[in-house]
Amino acid sequence: MKKANFGPYHIRKWFSFYEETLANETGILADGEPVKKYVIAAAIHNPLAGQFKEDLSELIENSPELGREFGRRINALAGDNEIISYGKAILVGADGEYEHGNAFLTNPAANPVRDAVGGGKSWVPSTGKIGGPGAILDVPLAHKNALYVRSHYDSISVSFNDAPRRDEVLVIWAFATRGRLHARLGGLKAEEVKGEDGLV
């Protein structure tokens, strides 16, 4: 039995990643500040690995505290850089169910992260899959206050050399300080965001 070390959860490992893009793919320098992206992930033992259980509340009930820790870590990593976009994902080890991972992405876990980055009106885009160590996952990003801001539709690809193990869930959050470099597809501009309904 793996001993709990974070509330009722056994977290084997925390990961953090930082990426700064200074020019676009054709070498055109940033139109303003560089795009700064951050990833924070936790490899968490899945107590339901290898079994089906109708009630997944044991994974969800204490997830707000996990969300607060993700929030604390993004603020420590980003420092004074304002978070404008966010996204989340899960990689579930081979002995678990995709639904086990999704239990860690529900609102009880997500709301403390929203609070930590200064609030967020729009829903957090998410994705996930079953996979093993080294699997590549594209984590979606979108504007935290208005989902219809096309310039902020983005992603970051992540891979972890030793996670998730078969009996783990890898919970991943990604953040960005701005939209894509030289976004020019029209639509609602970031400076026009009302931030009232999560859409515009």
pLDDT, residue 119, reads 86
pLDDT confidence of 65, banded at 50, 70, 90?
A: very high
Q: What is the mean pLDDT of residues 16-22?
A: 97
Domain ranges of the chain: 11-192
pLDDT exceeds 90 at position 194 = no
pLDDT, residue 172, reads 98
pLDDT, residue 161, reads 95
Q: Which residue(s) pair with 87 in the sheet?
A: 174
% of residues, the chain, pLDDT over 90: 86
pLDDT, residue 139, reads 98
- Go through 164-197 and write b for each residue having 16 or more CB atoms within 10 A of its CB, e for each that does not: bbebbbbbbbbbbbbbbbebeeeebebeebeeee
The superfamily in CATH containing domain 11-192 is BB2672 (3.30.1330.110)
pLDDT exceeds 80 at position 131 = yes
